[in-house]
Amino acid sequence: MLMKWGPDQRQLEPARVLFLRTPQAKQRLAPALSPQNLDKTMKAPVTAILHYDTTFYEKLPKLFPHNPDARNWFANSEALAEITAFRNSTLQGAYFILAARIAGLDCGPCPASTMPKWMRSFFPPGRSCAGPTQIQFPVQSGLWRRHEVFPRSPRLDFDEACRCF
């Protein structure tokens, strides 16, 4: 997948993705969704829950082989591991969306305001197949033409969002 080629800090790759494709799987999300997102989520061909492995550093012997001590940078500092996993998986989540868009799929990230419900439903007790996990955000994706549900919202102009020195 194109997502894996996007750079993050030291190629730590903490992001993980849980793809919900069946109506039964997506129905498990229903209690955690706002009324505005419920119908869109159920109609989307796929909902991906982007999450991150909080012990991503266990994979560093494979991902960062040129520095045998890299694992210890994070294994010895839970706070550093958490903020690093969060930041890098946020980048990876953006790469996921861009990769899906390049593949011609529409994407709609959802707010994750009810993460505890999602964690209980999909990662009891807070674990994924990869190890301890935290949810980043869900993304509805597929060939579902979200723009037909509602028009694309405006975006800031360059000079509203950027400054040059």
Mean pLDDT in residue range 1-14: 83
Do residues 80 and 56 lie in contact, with contact meaning Cβ atoms separated by under 8 Å? no
pTM of the shown model: 0.80
Q: Which domains are present in the chain?
A: 2-161 (3.40.109.10)
Taken in order 17, 34, 102, 146, is the CA torsion positive or negative?
Answer: positive
Instruction: Please report the pLDDT score of residue 44 as a whole number.
Output: 79
Mean pLDDT in residue range 129-146: 66
Does the pLDDT value for residue 28 go beyond 60?
yes
Query: Nearest to residue 128, comparing CAs of 56, 41, 65, 44?
Result: 56
Kindly report the length of the chain. Answer: 165
pLDDT band (50, 70, 90) for residue 133: confident
Does the pLDDT value for residue 138 go beyond 90?
no
79-129: per-residue pLDDT in tens?
999 999 999 999 999 998 888 888 887 887 776 566 667 777 777 665 555
Q: Are strands 131-142 and 106-109 parallel, antiparallel or unpaired?
A: antiparallel
* DSSP 8-class letter at 33: S
Does the pLDDT value for residue 143 go beyond 70?
no
Strand residue runs (E) in 21-163 = 46-53, 106-109, 127-128, 131-142
C-alpha 144, offset from chain centre: 20
Instruction: Choose between 85 and 147: higher pLDDT.
Output: 85
29-70: per-residue pLDDT in tens?
888 777 877 777 788 788 888 888 989 999 999 998 999 899
